Amino acid sequence: QLQLQESGPGLVKPSETLSLTCTVSSGSISSSSYYWGWIRQPPGKGLEWIGTIYYSGYTYYNPSLKSRVTMSVDTSKNQFSLKLSSVTAADTAVYYCARLQNAVVAFDYWGQGTLVTVSS
């Protein structure tokens, strides 16, 4: 059973960069059948797609976050990562990593999520 696990600091100061890593286990991140994505949920609000990355490194970002988002992939470690720069309190959220299955264009496996709080 594929598993995804988010990791990273739970507290980030305003104006700094949020960094998270998603480790994929029981499956290869290098499969051509999947993309890998980040989705977040601010407290009391809905889900927001942040971006998606292919194992080759090709990235696609939410236009509203594009100027601050960088995603990368490390196939040797079976991991992909998210960096969000110049964070503010509005970036406080539970961040999820997920697998996007190409054939059906849906996020079929998700991590449990990690809460990141932006505060001084």
Partner 1 sequence: QSALTQPASVSGSPGQSISISCTGTSSDVGSYNLVSWYQHHPGKAPKLMIYEGSKRPSGVSNRFSGSKSGNTASLTISGLQAEDEADYYCCSYAGSTTYVFGTGTKVTVL
Compute CA distances 56 → 25, 32, 83, whole Å. 18, 9, 18
Per-residue tokens: 67? 């100027």
Least distance (Å) from partner 1 to the CB of residue 13? 26
Pairing of strands 79-84, 69-74: antiparallel
Nearer to partner 1, 35 or 79 (CB): 35
Least distance (Å) from partner 1 to the CB of residue 103? 9
Nearer to partner 1, 64 or 86 (CB): 64
What type of residue sits at position 77?
K
Rounded Cα distance, 11 and 18, in Å: 9
Least distance (Å) from partner 1 to the CB of residue 46? 4
Least distance (Å) from partner 1 to the CB of residue 65? 10
DSSP conformational letter for 90 = G
Residues binding partner 1 (CB under 8 A): 37, 39, 45-49, 52, 60, 62-64, 96, 98, 104-108, 110-113
Nearer to partner 1, 13 or 66 (CB): 66
Nearer to partner 1, 15 or 25 (CB): 25
For 16, residues 6+ apart whose C-beta sits below 8 A from its C-beta are: 87
